[in-house]
């Protein structure tokens, strides 16, 4: 049947005209879309609030170490993270200070904890204890090897981001 025939003859389906069915369909679709958007809004809000709280908790822990100017033994870098960083360094030239040179300094000087330029982002880094060059000498704290040499205070920071 063509559109004109339906329009002229006001064909009814289940007691409803075409216009009534279209309106009901659009209303149902809009209602479903609204329910989905509301569900995602609630999830996003809860997830964001949770994440913000974890970031604040990590930053408080990190600030304590920074204020106390604590220097820690370098526990090593997680093997997977090291391989990824080495690959990026060789292929893309991403790291200003070669990772092997950074590791040598970490082992020699020990490490200190520093916040990134934007602490609200949650990025916390380690630096060789004698450096203040976050741009060139830092790695993310989460790339540290979790072993018996890793200080408990640093572990708290790393694992508070996962809880």
Domain assignment of residue 23, yes or no: no
- What's the confidence (pLDDT) of residue 42? 59
User: How many domains does the structure of the chain reveal?
Assistant: 1
Domain assignment of residue 11, yes or no: no
* Phi, psi at 105, each rounded to 5°: -65, -40
Q: Find the DSSP H helices in the chain.
A: 3-9, 18-67, 79-92, 99-109, 134-137, 152-160
- β-strand 16-17 against 12-13: which pairing, if any? antiparallel
Domain assignment of residue 108, yes or no: yes
Domain assignment of residue 141, yes or no: yes
Q: Tell me how far apart the alpha carbons of residues 65 and 131 are, in angstroms, rounded to a whole number.
A: 16
Q: Nearest to residue 157, comparing CAs of 72, 46, 81, 79?
A: 72
Domain assignment of residue 2, yes or no: no
Claim: this prediction has a pTM higher than 0.75: no
Domain assignment of residue 102, yes or no: yes
Q: Tell me how far apart the alpha carbons of residues 21 and 146 are, in angstroms, rounded to a whole number.
A: 62
- What's the confidence (pLDDT) of residue 29? 85
Domain assignment of residue 26, yes or no: no
Q: Average pLDDT for consecutive 10-residue bins of the chain (163 residues)?
A: 52 68 82 77 67 88 92 93 88 78 94 90 92 91 89 86 57
Domain assignment of residue 77, yes or no: yes
Domain region containing 122? 41-160
Tokens of 15: 């007691």
């Amino acid at each position: 049947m063509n559109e004109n025939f339906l329009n002229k003859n006001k064909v009814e389906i289940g007691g409803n005209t075409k216009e009534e069915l279209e309106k009901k369909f659009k209303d149902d679709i809009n209602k479903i879309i609204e329910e989905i958007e509301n569900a995602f809004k609630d999830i996003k809000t809860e997830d964001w609030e949770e994440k913000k709280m974890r970031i604040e908790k990590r930053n408080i822990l990190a600030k304590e170490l920074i204020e106390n100017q604590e220097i820690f033994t370098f526990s090593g870098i997680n093997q997977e993270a090291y391989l990824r960083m080495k690959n990026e360094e060789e292929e893309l030239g991403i790291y200003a200070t070669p990772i092997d040179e950074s590791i040598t300094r970490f082992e020699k000087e020990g490490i200190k904890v520093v916040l990134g330029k934007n602490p609200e982002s949650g990025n916390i880094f380690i630096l060789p204890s004698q450096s203040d060059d976050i741009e060139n000498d830092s790695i993310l704290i989460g790339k540290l090897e979790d072993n018996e040499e890793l200080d408990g205070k640093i572990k708290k920071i790393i694992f508070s981001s996962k809880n």
